[in-house]
Amino acid sequence: MMPDELFNWLKANKKKAIIIGCALVIFEGIFLVTLFSESKTSRALELHFFDVGQGDSEFVVLPGGARMLIDGGPANGRVMNELARTMSQGERYIDLVLMTHPQLDHFGGLIDVAKQYTIGAFLWSGRGSNAPAFQELLNELRNNHTQMISLGAGDSIRSNESNITILSPTPAFLHDTDLNNSTVVAEVMAANTSALFVGDIGTEVEEYLTHTFNMRADILKVPHHGSRFSSSESFLREVHPKVAIIEVGKNSYGHPTPEVLSRLSSVGARILRTDLNGAAEIVSEGVRNGIRLIVEK
Amino acid sequence: MLPYEIFFFGVIFFLGGILAASAGIPPFFVTAFGIVASIFFVVVRIRMKNVRMTWYAGLILFLIMGSLYYRIDNAQFFASPVVFNSPIIFSGVVEEDPVIKESGQEIVVGITLPYHARILVRLPAYPRFAYGDVIHGKGKIQKPSTSSYAHYLEKERIRGTMSFASVEKVGQGSGSSLRASLFEIKHSIMNVFASVLPPEEATFLSGLTIGARGSFSQELKDNMQKSGTTHLVALSGYNITILVSVAMGFLLFLFSRRIAFIVTVILIVLFVMMTGAEASVVRAAIVGFLALLASEIGRVYDIRNAVLCAALIMVLLNPKVLAFDIGFQLSFLALLGIVYLRPALQNLLNITESTTIFSWKENMLTTLAAQLAVTPILIANFGFVSLISLFANIVVLELIPITMGLGFLIVGVSLISHILAQGLGFLVSVFLRIELLLISFFAHIAIPISFKAGVVFTILWYVGLGILIWHYYMDDARRTIQLA
């Protein structure tokens, strides 16, 4: 039916037209009420491991509803689809966005996120890059007047009973010649569950972490997409994760390497791969209810 | 012979010449054939004293002209010597609106140094380039990998492709300022959709309303192809009709008929330029313009000549569209199917038009007519036809007009309030979700019938359709005489 036909039909069926008009107004009203009413708060911790191809992107919803996006994967638009799938329609606010380190497979997707979402604060190590894409991200954040906060070892963020502790980088690792070692390492403690987000750290940072902290964690985002230069035996023994998630896509580096897969198996971790299993979601409501694992594909 | 008949046969012969040259038939053979045919018509004229034959004998010269026109155009296209697979340092200007894909961006660069040629450069997603940017770069020009891709690129006036190039922007604003502004409007519309809808729905709505489908995911493209619904996101007569009816309706309130007509025509031209002037929308715009013009100057509107006129203009501008632009072929054949085959099918299946708000019968007839008209082209290019497409279109087409209407409304409302636009986005999202779900559903249950169709099949198919149409119009004429 063409617009003029529709117009004629509406003219001929005035009663129906009035009903349709009223329905539209009511619909708009319901939408506005839902948009401005407070969203239901959950007591659970939600951890989403997005399938963004060869790259990292995780989304954390703390008990109480605070949301943090860790990395945005490469600039292929997939993080936007994942966010739309995870958040309810109309929601365009993320409390915190953490960029672990300035490599394209970790921050590329954040450019679109910065364009389409309002970000409460942008967290990073303070170490940038000369890559044009990174400059584009900085421009976008500056244009939106997004608050940018540099974090390093020893910093922490609290939200109600939840705690996010930054374990690295130390000033030495921040300026390491290997950009991967400048990764912001975050430990999320909420709903009696601990999760480690370690970006692309190599064995040197792993050694530092195991010597300095108690690294035991329920959930581990496996470092550097399963590269054999990370996830050392000693590190995995210390962390002893119940679930290990490898965020990986089609690549020419051989990620995840067989060595890492066997090391993870030897510590008894349940391995999830975004290239094989798709996006993964972990919901924890505390010890009593255990961890609920939802794997998509 | 009447002037409109002279035009009709002249254009048919000219297009025949273009087609022959596109198929690689040398001009010598076309010329020889033309001369022999011309002599044949003269002989028939003398023997049978049929005056029309004199006209045919003269008009067949257009066949030779068509062939030569293609050859000249081709020679000009290949005039600049391009060196392939050898590193070059080049300068140029971005000549089209860049296409953003999941894998990065594709820009068409008109290089001016070291030689003149248009090339397609594939680059990472960032830094973004824009129409009119002046660039310097380094890389190797590659020949297209297959002959069908080479033909597609030739149709786009592109000599080769370049991947892994290092490209730097050294200036901007070198293109036409009008086109730059139109692309800006297009991006603003896409941004409005992206700001109120989830990404997949936003890109689908951009495709429906302004034909922007560069960022469609492969999955969505495959689903649309399997379910036979790709045409929904190719702008066509439908979009132009909406634009004309809305613009004329609004402008007639403010201006005289003449001014409203002129402004509407300008709006159509701007819309076509904004959307990238793909074949289906250019065809629709020309046919639509001729319909408007006929009513404006009080002449009888002949759809047959309007369609041919559109084809002639497009082929004169770019002779390669006739044989190498699938969009061009699909668009024209679908239109011819809707105009000529649809009434025949309606009569054959004994279907009466529905009088309710739902127009599934009309949609079914239109889809069937268009689908039958393009079947050989679909088989030749994609290797299969989708039998489910009839059902998919009957269902999906019911929802498309309201979705498009709401899409344009969102753009308008967003100028006043973003929150209100978001509310409408919520509503249109319901429709978009249903449409995407249906497209995915029909794609999954589709059993593509794949087979190879040669020239014989194609000829037999169209002869069959021709007989069906001829039979209907003969019957129709007989009925008219009886009634009289």
pLDDT for res B357: 61
Alpha helices for B23-60 (secondary structure H): 27-48, 52-59
Per-residue pLDDT, averaged over A188-192, amounts to 91
Other C-beta atoms closer than 10 Å to the C-beta of B68 total: 16
For tokens 């970790």, the residue is: A106
Q: Per-residue DSSP letters for B226-285?
A: HHT-GGGGS--HHHHHHHHHHHHHHHHHHS-HHHHHHHHHHHHHHHHHHTT--HHHHHHH
Report DSSP state, residue B142: B
pLDDT for res A59: 97
C-alpha distance from A2 to closest chain B C-alpha (Å) = 7
pLDDT for res B483: 62
State the pLDDT confidence band at A287, using cuts at 50, 70 and 90.
low
State the pLDDT confidence band at A80, using cuts at 50, 70 and 90.
very high
Q: Do B199 and A89 touch (CB under 8 A)?
A: no
Instruction: Kindly list the residues from chain A whose CB atom is less than 8 angstroms away from the CB atom of residue B425.
Output: 89-90
pLDDT for res A232: 94
The share of chain B scoring above pLDDT 70, in percent, equals 96
Q: Find out whether B463 and B455 touch, Cβ atoms under 8 Å.
A: no
Alpha helices for A68-187 (secondary structure H): 78-86, 104-107, 110-116, 132-143, 171-174
Handedness of CA A162, A167, A170, A173 (dihedral sign): negative
CA geometry: angle at B426 spanning B425 and B430, to 5°?
105
Partner A contacted by B405 (CB < 8 A): yes
The share of chain B scoring above pLDDT 90, in percent, equals 35
Residue B3: asked if its preceding bond is cis (omega within 30°), the reply is no
The chain B residue lying nearest A87, using CA atoms, is B198
Partner A contacted by B242 (CB < 8 A): yes
pLDDT for res B364: 82
The number of angstroms, rounded, from the C-alpha of A141 to the middle of its chain's C-alpha atoms is 18
Dihedrals phi, psi of B90, to nearest 5 degrees: -130, 160
Partner A contacted by B353 (CB < 8 A): no
For residue A3, give the nearest of B104, B405, B423 by CB distance. B405
C-alpha distance from A194 to closest chain B C-alpha (Å) = 31
**Residues forming beta bridges with residue B137, ordered by sequence position:** B90, B167
Alpha carbons A231 and A206: distance in angstroms, whole number: 8
Alpha carbons B316 and B250: distance in angstroms, whole number: 34
Per-residue pLDDT, averaged over B257-271, amounts to 89
Average pLDDT of chain B, as a whole number: 87
Q: Which of helix, strand or coil describes residue B111? A: strand
Q: CA torsion A44→A196→A131→B120, rounded to 10°?
A: -70
**Residues forming beta bridges with residue A221, ordered by sequence position:** A197, A245
C-alpha distance from A131 to closest chain B C-alpha (Å) = 9
The chain A residue lying nearest B126, using CA atoms, is A133
Question: pLDDT tens, B417-444?
Answer: 888 898 889 889 999 999 999 999 998 8
A2 has a pLDDT exceeding 60: no
Pairing relationship of beta strands A58-61 and A291-295 according to DSSP bridges = unpaired
Question: pLDDT tens, B279-307?
Answer: 888 888 998 888 888 888 877 778 888 88
Alpha carbons A54 and B125: distance in angstroms, whole number: 15
Instruction: Kindly list the residues from chain B whose CB atom is less than 8 angstroms away from the CB atom of residue A85.
Output: 198
pLDDT for res B177: 92
pLDDT for res B355: 63
Alpha helices for chain A (secondary structure H): 3-12, 14-36, 78-86, 104-107, 110-116, 132-143, 171-174, 203-212, 233-239, 258-266, 274-277
C-alpha distance from B76 to closest chain A C-alpha (Å) = 38
Q: Which of A260-264, B360-364, B446-450 has the highest mean pLDDT?
A: A260-264
Partner B contacted by A24 (CB < 8 A): yes
Instruction: Kindly list the residues from chain A whose CB atom is less than 8 angstroms away from the CB atom of residue B427.
Output: 24, 27-28, 31
Question: What is the enclosing helix (H) or strand (E) of B191?
Answer: helix B177-196
List all residues 6 or more positions away from B298 whose beta carbon is below 8 Å from its beta carbon.
Answer: none
Q: Do B200 and A28 touch (CB under 8 A)?
A: no
Q: Which two tokens stand for residue A21?
A: 């008009």
pLDDT for res A218: 93
pLDDT for res B347: 85
Per-residue pLDDT, averaged over A275-296, amounts to 77
Q: Which two tokens stand for residue B256?
A: 């005289």
CATH 3.40.50.1370 fits A3-295, yes or no: no
Alpha carbons B221 and B229: distance in angstroms, whole number: 10
Q: Do A90 and B242 touch (CB under 8 A)?
A: no
Instruction: Kindly list the residues from chain B whose CB atom is less than 8 angstroms away from the CB atom of residue A133.
Output: 124-127
CA distances from A63 to A40, A162, A192 (A): 11, 7, 11
The share of chain A scoring above pLDDT 70, in percent, equals 88
Average pLDDT of chain A, as a whole number: 89
pLDDT for res A260: 95
Pairing relationship of beta strands B134-140 and B104-113 according to DSSP bridges = unpaired
State the pLDDT confidence band at B239, using cuts at 50, 70 and 90.
confident
> What is the number of CB-based contacts under 8 A between chain A and chain B?
81
For residue A2, give the nearest of B127, B401, B429 by CB distance. B401
**Residues forming beta bridges with residue B167, ordered by sequence position:** B137
Per-residue pLDDT, averaged over B395-414, amounts to 87
A211 has a pLDDT exceeding 70: yes
Q: Do A108 and B126 touch (CB under 8 A)?
A: yes
Q: Do A116 and B241 touch (CB under 8 A)?
A: no
B4 has a pLDDT exceeding 90: no
Per-residue pLDDT, averaged over B95-112, amounts to 91
- Best of A4, A82, A105 to disrupt the B interface (most B CBs within 10 Å) is A4
Alpha carbons A88 and A45: distance in angstroms, whole number: 17
pLDDT for res A297: 47
Per-residue pLDDT, averaged over A229-233, amounts to 94
Per-residue pLDDT, averaged over B354-375, amounts to 79
pLDDT for res B397: 82
State the pLDDT confidence band at B376, using cuts at 50, 70 and 90.
confident
For residue A89, give the nearest of B238, B241, B426 by CB distance. B426
Q: Which two tokens stand for residue B273?
A: 């330029």
pLDDT for res B98: 93
A85 has a pLDDT exceeding 50: yes
For tokens 């255990």, the residue is: A290
Q: Which of helix, strand or coil describes residue A185? A: strand
State the pLDDT confidence band at A235, using cuts at 50, 70 and 90.
very high
State the pLDDT confidence band at A41, using cuts at 50, 70 and 90.
low
Radius of gyration of chain A, Cα coordinates, nearest whole angstrom: 22
B166 has a pLDDT exceeding 60: yes
Q: Do B126 and A136 touch (CB under 8 A)?
A: yes
Q: How many CA atoms lie within 13 A of B77 on its CB side?
A: 21
State the pLDDT confidence band at A160, using cuts at 50, 70 and 90.
confident
CA distances from A213 to A166, A210, B90 (A): 11, 6, 55
Per-residue pLDDT, averaged over B56-65, amounts to 88
A62 has a pLDDT exceeding 80: yes
State the pLDDT confidence band at A199, using cuts at 50, 70 and 90.
very high
State the pLDDT confidence band at A112, using cuts at 50, 70 and 90.
very high
Pairing relationship of beta strands A162-168 and B99-101 according to DSSP bridges = unpaired
